[in-house]
Chains A and B, each alone.
Chain A
Amino acid sequence: MFKYFPHTIEDIEEMKNFLKINKIDDLFQDVPKEVLFQKEYNIPSHLSESELRRYFEKIASKNKELILFTGLGFYDHYEPAVINSLLSRQEFLTAYTPYQPEISQGTLQYIFEYQSMIQTLTGMDVSNASMYDGTTSTAEACFMAESITKRKTILISGTVHPSVIDVVRTYAKFKGLTVEIINEKSGITDLSHLQQLLGSHVAGVVVQKPNFFGIIESFEEVSKAVHEHGAILIENADISTLSVLKTPRLDGADIAVGDCQSLGMNVAYGGPTLGYLATLKPYVRKMPGRICGYSLDEEGRRAFVLTLQAREQHIRREKANSNICSNQSLMALYATIYLALLGPIGLKKANLLSYQGAHYLYDELIKTGKFKPYFNQPFFKEFVLETLIPYDMLQKACIDNGFLAGISLSNYDEKYQNLVTFAVTEKRQKSEIDELVSLVGGLSW
């Protein structure tokens, strides 16, 4: 027998006798004989716990840990030890969606706290309980724009992360929405191209801050143009940087979305993270996903509960706003604890350190003479340079010396030949930066 099955031979006999069956197979009488699987799966034999550990140690060693000087949507920020310790509490880890609020106040309360923190960071009025990631939350925001405006065209800036663009394109293609790309010009959204594309058919416009190149765009003119045409402005923003940068609300956004990975979540080969989605009060009933609200119990005690559920699939079925069924709850708890620990001061400090490290690296790389500035724009913790070093040589040198740095943007678009990106977080020490600079500065060809 196996440790996850508590059935003794005696238990099985008693249950079979009670059910008046001879063998368990008798319970499968409704299954047509032709489809009964009467073989063994062609998979390996079971592993004991120590064999399993050894297997994973071996396969883990087939990967290489690198010092990360790359962002591209996944940033290597500091992970406070407290968080994983609290997340591993079974009361959080093994519970499900809080259908029974009387025994789910822990989950409901942290969702309320999460929504509150997303509210204050974005400056918007309301946040949902979280979504899968920043790409899908952007796609869902586009559907909201469609639903609010009853229009079918989405414009998305060429300065938005290509994965976000691709996911929006996929979602839109099937839903029957048209997606058009606003040109990138000097690393920012081309305002005159946006104005050309705008019209009474445009439901929403998607922009990003800091954008794919790490540049902090100003959306004042964009917002004016978008709203003049009655469209919805969707801003995808790195949530952590909003402690320092102007809020999406003040940028004029109607919907703020993005990924919360930058709140100290492991890069973990891409997941899990979570996507946030926040909007203005008038659009709250158009929001996808769970929402938690404050209430009182019968005895007047503070209590939290899932609310405004009439928007959702389990009630509205084919008339629902979205097919999303749950949230990325445990990761919302991660974000909440991270923000509680960092607080307003710590969050700004982590961002300042990242900003300083990135600007220091930028200047040092330029000093080597092996890189040239490309976009002359303000950046935050990530930037683009033109490399004079042949790309293959640069990559090999970085990887061989344990760095992930200088990733080519031509992986995303051929027009970005010779452009490479770097990112720095507060985790990068001066010695690591200096070592990277001295390595690439010393390359010759």
Chain B
Amino acid sequence: MVEYDKLIFELSKEGRIGYSLPNSFASTYQFLDLNQDLLRTDSLLLPEVSELDVVRHYTNISRKNFGVETGFYPLGSCTMKYNPKINDEIASIQIFNRLHPSQPMSTVQGVLEIYDHLQEMLSEISGMHSFSLNPYAGAHGELTGLMIMKAYHESRGDYSRKKVIVPDSAHGTNPASTIVAGMEVVEIKSNSLGRIDLEALKQVLSNEIAGMMLTNPNTLGIFENDIIEITKLVHEAGGLMYYDGANLNALLGKVRPGDMGFDIMHINLHKTFSTPHGGGGPGSGPVGVCKKLSSFLPNPKVKKESNYYYIENEKDSIGQISSFFGNFKVWLRAYAYILSLGKEYLNLVGDFSTLNANYIKESLKEDYNLPIEGPCMHECVFDGLKDQSTGVRTLDVAKRLLDYNFHAPTIYFPLLFHQSIMIEPTETESKQTMDEFINVMKKIAKEAKDDPDLVKKAPHNTPIKRIDEVFAAKKMILTYKDYLEQNL
């Protein structure tokens, strides 16, 4: 079945339909009444297919995908934990799908209450003052948070603070978001342990620094043990501390970003709070701030007065960053997740995700280079195979894992190492699953010695083999129209 390789357009046959629409009751009105110059005259390259054609087509192509429910998905930094079914069920409650953003507030008290409760819970869990649920994704949250950082300084009449310190180990979105927010990036090198070098930090601090972005644990899965000193130094220099919540999973129940001195943060609800990744979205990236920054949160906002919730735009706000309240049905799932675990179980997430990652790290260090010894947090990073003499690279190991029905870890990130393999098991994986993964990783290390070509030519059992990426970039066939024109 995985051989299926049709495009939906190739199933098209004139006259087939896949829709069900009512009859017209006002056929006196026709597009012909409009000025013909306003109308489309060129043909529309959409397929004509039956409902079953559509269902079979997408079912068949779905079978060429790997999801969390297919198997272990240790994609580092992405927190591919199990996405509970009950949360999907709740997000599909009819009324939630039917509410319109323009409805009077009196008719949406339930969803406004959910917004307010969730932002309160996220504040408690992260030690912040308040949250906005409006940002659509992690990178969108970063951008929103950096806008708040800039707006804060400017509100005090300080226009000279335009530089944001970003460690060289940071996710690529950190420097990119800084630029989009109209600020400059000051990159600082990590020390040999992958941590912030305090001396390097001190050297870049000045009255031009707006703040610093940090993910803790960092992208090596290591906790910044100088965090108190770091936040103190940045604050003394007049800067704000931004917490990139990408790695928050390690800290649930253990450490709150607010308590470490962070002023602004975002949370990736699709990571830490288990909402499905959807093949790349929709996610949700709420932004939290300390008290003095709360008025800068994006509009619109949910407020409460004697048990009545209302929507308000505040003039100090950075403004609107989304069409309304963000990805409502995503944060609704996160709310259901928090209520399910409650205070009793939410605080075990950090423990189990960290225990799991350390178990994998210690189990693989004989076969893979472990550049940094000592405990890791929720993920661990290796720098390729220990035995590199056969020329088997990290990419090959990743591809070979696919043959064994595991998703590959994140590879070639962080950039600090040349052959990075970043493994994040999450707390929802059992010891058995991890043992199977560890055995396969060891087996691949052995294959790399005994039969390097077997690994270098992997994958062998997947629907397709390795792809010619140069062909894609050179030919630039980005649509079905391009495809037809190229006559392939």
Contacts and interface: CB of A to CB of B under 8 A. Distances in A.
Interface string B118-143: 00010011010000000011111011
A41 B25 contact: no
B61 to A, nearest CB: 4
Contacts of A302: 5
Given A63-B109, A134-B323, 7 more contacts: A82-B51, A103-B407, A107-B279, A269-B328, A270-B328, A303-B464, A343-B18
Interface in A279-337: 284, 290-299, 301-303, 305, 307-308, 312-320, 322-331, 333, 336-337
B20 to A, nearest CB: 8
A97 B279 contact: yes
Contacts of A442: none
Interface in B357-393: 358-359, 362-363, 374-375, 377
Interface string B97-123: 111111110111111011000000100
B45 A105 contact: no
B343 A116 contact: no
B227 A269 contact: no
A340 B46 contact: yes
Contact of A106 (B64, B274, B473): B64
A90 to B, nearest CB: 4
A341 B44 CA distance: 14
B428 interface: yes
A66 B482 contact: no
A414 interface: no
Interface stretch (A163-171, A181-189, A195-203): A163-171
B398 A100 contact: yes
Interface stretch (B66-74, B197-205, B235-243, B439-447): B66-74
A164 to B, nearest CB: 8
Interface string B1-17: 00001011100000011
Nearest to A249: B42
B452 interface: no
B329 to A, nearest CB: 5
Contact of A353 (B21, B49, B355): B21
A408 to B, nearest CB: 10
A94 to B, nearest CB: 4
A159 interface: no
A258 to B, nearest CB: 11
B150 interface: yes
Contacts of B99: 63, 65, 267-269
Nearest to B271: A96
B141 to A, nearest CB: 10
Given A337-B54, A340-B8, A36 B255 contact: yes
B189 interface: no
Contact of B325 (A14, A110, A269, A324): A269
B293 to A, nearest CB: 15
Contact of A63 (B111, B319, B351): B111
B178 interface: yes
B157 interface: no
B282 A170 contact: no
A325 B277 contact: no
Contact of A15 (B111, B260, B431): B431
Contacts of A88: 88
B276 interface: yes
B188 interface: no
B137 A132 contact: yes
A384 to B, nearest CB: 14
Given A5-B352, A37-B259, A59-B114, A353 B280 contact: no
B338 interface: yes
Contact of A169 (B42, B58, B67, B319): B319
Given A46-B344, A270-B328, A337-B58, A173 B319 contact: yes
Contacts of B171: 314
B107 A4 contact: no
Contact of B340 (A52, A166, A323, A342): A52
Contact of B430 (A7, A74, A297, A345): A7
A273 B325 CA distance: 12
A30 B279 contact: no
B124 A268 contact: no
Given A90-B69, A94-B83, A136-B140, A47 B147 contact: no
A323 B351 CA distance: 32
B323 A163 contact: yes
B454 to A, nearest CB: 15
11 contacts: A24-B351, A66-B100, A82-B51, A92-B67, A94-B69, A106-B61, A136-B322, A166-B299, A171-B321, A328-B281, A346-B17
A243 interface: yes
B233 interface: no
B346 interface: yes
A24 B355 contact: yes
Most buried by B among A16, A330, A360: A330
A176 B65 contact: no
Given A271-B323, A337-B58, A41 B125 contact: yes
B428 A272 contact: no
Contacts of B259: 35, 37
B59 A269 contact: no
A208 interface: no
B98 A98 contact: no
A119 B343 contact: no
A103 B17 CA distance: 31
A397 interface: no
A292 B478 contact: yes
A245 B362 CA distance: 62
Contacts of B276: 93-94, 330
A246 B39 contact: yes
A96 B343 contact: no
B417 interface: no
A330 B339 contact: no
B111 A269 contact: yes
Nearest to A24: B351
Contacts of B481: 116, 119-120
B65 A91 contact: yes
A314 B176 CA distance: 9
A204 interface: no
Given A24-B351, A44-B343, A56-B90, A313 B173 contact: yes
A439 interface: no
A267 B97 contact: yes
